[in-house]
Structure 1
Amino acid sequence: METTTGTETLTRHWIDGAWQEGSGSIAVVNPATGQTIAEVPAGGKAEVDAAVMAARHAFNRWAATPLADRVAMVLAIREGIKARSGEIATSITAEMGSPTKFANTVQVGMPMATSKGVAGLAESFPWTEEIGNSLVVREPVGVVGAVTPWNYPLHQVVAKVAPALVAGCTIVLKPSEVAPLTAGILAEITREAGLPAGVFNVVHGTGPEAGEALASHPGVDMMSFTGSVPAGRRVQEVAAGTVKRVALELGGKSANIVLDDADLTQAVKLGLGNCFINGGQTCTAWTRLLVPQSLHDQVVEMAVEQAAKYTVGDPTDESTRIGPMSSERQRERVDGYITTGVSEGAELAAGGPGRPDGLDSGAYVRPTIFSGVRPDMRIAQEEIFGPVLSVMPYADEDEAVEIANATVYGLAGAVFAGSQERGLEVAKRMRTGQVDVNGGQFNPLAPFGGYKQSGTGRELGRYGLEEFLEVKSIQL
């Protein structure tokens, strides 16, 4: 995968079971130091053509591979991830700034959990069923083009690759150019596991070049994309030319509704944790904290007290809870939203514009809490993708639900209530793909995806596997 020149690492494309050199280069920058730590080639149409051709050539044989062998391959890849977990975590911390403790537990743990989950359900999955005189069979969709983001650089890849492999599909991956290094490690793992050449391919490059070449390619049967809404729209537009299937997992502006009988200590602690998770660079982050008007000031005070526990700094330090943003560009974006919130009239309860004290370099922002946020403010409507919480008062339960649903997004959310029954009733009224009630835990087998402009389709578990399958009716 890699050759070293000086202090930098050169990472190549992985096409048809071999490393391929590429023209041009894209710098991979450590956001904590601003130093270039690697370079990847700037792939485009030629590299995508070669990778798709390899995937097409490998498809029939892989689709005909017995299901048990495909499942065994996914589990072997999982074991490879486990064996190299320390290396993977270190790479993720270096390329996008995820704190080392979070990288070792979540960034590595999630892809292991999701791959194990989809492998475990394969045997009981309804690959065939009888409806009257028809035999309904589920078959692999074909060659999958996958475009993944930088915030969870291995998990987002495995969430697509594992079910696609179980389904019998072959894959061409275009990882984020911001955090591409773990894709190379995964390619090495697939080789060591014995995955046949061409079944999994990696083409590096930018979205407008490599990404669009992949989405428009007539040899690609399906596009699975995770990223921003504007980029997702573009993938959908480009893919429409060949009427291929498109699955989109896009942004979010998730609301955490705290009801008047909730355990406030639990609601604020878990709520802030889910807002600041991965430095706020999480599509499901609960960035809007909706509280009864009478409890607003108390909740803000509690949130500020909790926020003081979130140490910002060097992501390689075990005590750090919030590292740098993934890039200087992302730091500027988040800082710009914080400035916008102040100009809109939201009250700063903690944090604010500018760098944290003592961190004059690196892509760091100040974890920020705004109080008294109105639903029409930009900070309440737009995805910031940083450690920024908007506390929003409401008059009654109906208004809370109305505010929660009043964005173009619908990816995730939460409800804290005095009883599970009351929380469940409010959760059912929220127009969003997943809702946690009183801190319900993440389930890697449950469907993951959104309503409205948060995307189309679902990932994870049985629903994620179905995305990579066609349905055929055979009349007997």
Structure 2
Amino acid sequence: MTTLLPNYLGGRWQTGTGAGSALHDPVSGQALVRVDATGLDLPAGFDFARRQGSAALQSMTYGARAALLVQIAQTLQKHRDAYYEIATANSGTVRNDSAVDIDGAIFTLGQYARWGAALGETRALRDGDAVKLDKDGLFQSQHLQVPRTGLALFINAFNFPAWGLWEKAAPALLSGMAVVVKPATATAWLTQRMVQDVVDAGILPPGALSVICGSAAGLLDNLQPFDVLSFTGSADTAALIRSHPAIARQSVRANIEADSLNSALLLPDAAPGTPAFDLLVREVVREMSVKSGQKCTAIRRIFVPQAVYGAAADAIATKLAKISTGNPRNEAVRMGALVSREQYQSVQQGLQALSTVTQVLYDGRAQPLIDADPAISACHAPVLLGARDADGAQAVHDLEIFGPVATLLPYRDLAHAQALAERGQGSLVASLYGDDAQMLADSARALARSHGRVHVVTPAVAQVHTGHGNVMPMSLHGGPGRAGGGAELGGLRALDFYHQRAAVQASPEVLQALGL
């Protein structure tokens, strides 16, 4: 019998009353642990988080809460090796891919700790300067931001069980809001273990951090008007969340990150043989293979000038052929598994759906897996598709295959390329490759209308750019339209979501006494 992982809610560890769901090794299929949230008293747990967790956090200053983030990062660093073992077992990732999740989480915590320390010993944030409401300035208006009094509920995706928690929790805790995280069941083990280590270290006040693993019906039913909800997942689930009475009627603030058909665009000046062309090829291959393509920011569509379509296909295929797929415990393996056999079937179904409008340019499935049984494992080799009629291949602009799959598409001119990118109906990120600064700037400005981030790669930044798919805490993460319309990170901008903006109208003496 596998171990049943406990939930942490209401300031205590407690297990569900059901049989629970098993979490599996996506390579061997072996059951690892079980999770269950049946029978948890959600109303009492949420109330405890608000009354005890948020209240205790908000009795502190930003600087004091920043110091808590430092301690959390130190605790996670201490247990880092254990997290790598869990990631390999439960997510099927090779060590470098686990680092994106685990080390990325620790880095983000550290960054928000530094930003928070700079806010000092205040309990509210100034929002602009005071403005006069009368001609003599005896009565003025000062906007400020104060922490919301509720809790922050995170419903997270399966692909980043570590970073997905802490990139949200870092600004939430710094803002003074208690966190309740519901990780995706398939990979909940790592999230649960990190919360356990932080709780055991006694860093946070009781109720400031809770974790609910497994199916937990009724989570949204227990949200109240001053709570916030952050969701990462499918557009279909996001639509259901938006229609829930807590969101639709009580105006619970919600941040949604959903589907995203991200793009890489090669500019006309980047001909085969140029450094910019090679940079696109390298980044496409990296984005297809890191975490087996299971990143919300991964490149799904590759736009190149019509004249270089064949050369780009050959160059990308050549590099993809060097990607070895299989058991991440084998040192010869460069790309591990998808998170589950169900996700493997989803990728297969996606490929079937796109087969009517694309052709296969490279199929890594022809190569044998290393140290993995194809009948059992969730290992899936990279597949490069192509469609010479980029306008007619509508399915490519509609369907996101969440795995190591991308489609190469030719364009006539830059206006056509930009229009094709916008066919994604709103995306998290697009990357541009070229060496003409003005052309790149014009393209970046055009794509900014439909993307949350535009990543521009030139030969001058070849060794220092952070990567198309890497989400840095300094930059915005989110996107318009089908990407969810949300916004996370972006430095201290992330704190906006967890604060209430208000205008205080008073005399200058009263405004001065606010201590902003």
Q: What residue number does 1:63 align with?
A: 58
Give the Cα–Cα distance (whole angstroms) in 1 for the partners of residues 397 and 21 of structure 2: 34
Q: What residue number does 1:329 align with?
A: 342
Matching residue's letter, 2:219: A
Cα deviation, residue 470, structure 1: 0.9
Give the Cα–Cα distance (whole angstroms) in 1 for the partners of residues 442 and 368 of structure 2: 41
Structure 2 unmatched runs, 5+? 132-139, 271-275, 507-516
Matched-pair identity in %:
23
Q: What residue number does 2:401 align with?
A: 384
Q: What residue number does 1:73 align with?
A: 68
Q: What residue number does 1:362 align with?
A: 377
- 8 Å contact 1:30–1:94 — kept in the other structure? yes
Q: What residue number does 1:458 align with?
A: 487
- 8 Å contact 2:260–2:424 — kept in the other structure? no
Q: What are the within-5 Å matches in structure 2 for residues 279-290 of structure 1?
A: 279-290=292-303
Give the Cα–Cα distance (whole angstroms) in 1 for the partners of residues 78 and 395 of structure 2: 44
Tell me the alpha carbon deviations over residues 175-200 of structure 1, each in whole angstroms, 9 at most, x when there is no partner: 11111112222222322042111111
Q: What residue number does 2:512 align with?
A: none
> Is structure 2 residue 201 aligned with structure 1 residue 201?
no
Q: Per the alignment, in what secondary structure is the counterpart of residue 136 of structure 1?
A: strand
Cα RMSD (Å): 2.0
Q: Per the alignment, in what secondary structure is the counterpart of residue 467 of structure 1?
A: helix
Q: What residue number does 1:424 align with?
A: 441
> Is structure 2 residue 58 aligned with structure 1 residue 52?
no
Matching residue's letter, 1:155: W
Tell me the alpha carbon deviations over residues 87-145 of structure 1, each in whole angstroms, 9 at most, x when there is no partner: 11211221121222321x21111111211222222244581244221232211122111
Q: What are the within-5 Å matches in structure 2 for residues 21-420 of structure 1?
A: 21-24=15-18, 25-43=20-38, 46-58=40-52, 59-103=54-98, 105-124=99-118, 127-129=125-127, 130-132=129-131, 133-141=140-148, 142-191=150-199, 192-206=201-215, 209-210=216-217, 212-214=218-220, 217-218=223-224, 221-238=227-244, 239-262=247-270, 263-342=276-355, 344-351=356-363, 356-357=368-369, 359-360=373-374, 361-372=376-387, 374-375=390-391, 376-420=393-437
- 8 Å contact 1:259–1:416 — kept in the other structure? yes
> Is structure 2 residue 465 aligned with structure 1 residue 436?
no
- 8 Å contact 1:145–1:220 — kept in the other structure? no
Give the Cα–Cα distance (whole angstroms) in 1 for the partners of residues 221 and 322 of structure 2: 43
- 8 Å contact 2:267–2:305 — kept in the other structure? yes
Give the Cα–Cα distance (whole angstroms) in 1 for the partners of residues 226 and 143 of structure 2: 24
Report the TM-score when normalising by structure 2: 0.85
- 8 Å contact 2:234–2:259 — kept in the other structure? yes
| Number of aligned residues | 464
Cα deviation, residue 399, structure 1: 0.5
Matching residue's letter, 1:225: F
Q: Per the alignment, in what secondary structure is the counterpart of residue 370 of structure 1?
A: strand
Give the Cα–Cα distance (whole angstroms) in 1 for the partners of residues 437 and 67 of structure 2: 39
Q: What residue number does 2:503 align with?
A: 473
State the 4+ residue runs in structure 1 displaced beyond 6 angstroms. Answer: 352-355
Cα deviation, residue 228, structure 1: 1.3
Tell me the alpha carbon deviations over residues 364-394 of structure 1, each in whole angstroms, 9 at most, x when there is no partner: 2231011225343423421111001100011
Cα deviation, residue 311, structure 1: 1.1
Cα deviation, residue 356, structure 1: 4.9
Report the TM-score when normalising by structure 1: 0.92
Q: Per the alignment, in what secondary structure is the counterpart of residue 396 of structure 2?
A: helix
- 8 Å contact 2:320–2:364 — kept in the other structure? no
Tell me the alpha carbon deviations over residues 248-304 of structure 1, each in whole angstroms, 9 at most, x when there is no partner: 122211110001212211111112212332111001111111011100000000000
Structure 1 unmatched runs, 5+? none
Q: What residue number does 2:513 align with?
A: none
Cα deviation, residue 354, structure 1: 8.5
Give the Cα–Cα distance (whole angstroms) in 1 for the partners of residues 221 and 411 of structure 2: 43
Distance 1:384 1:273, change over 3 A: same
- 8 Å contact 2:264–2:432 — kept in the other structure? yes
Distance 1:447 1:468, change over 3 A: same
The structure with more radius of gyration = 2
Cα deviation, residue 148, structure 1: 0.7
Tell me the alpha carbon deviations over residues 387-415 of structure 1, each in whole angstroms, 9 at most, x when there is no partner: 01100011111101010111233111100
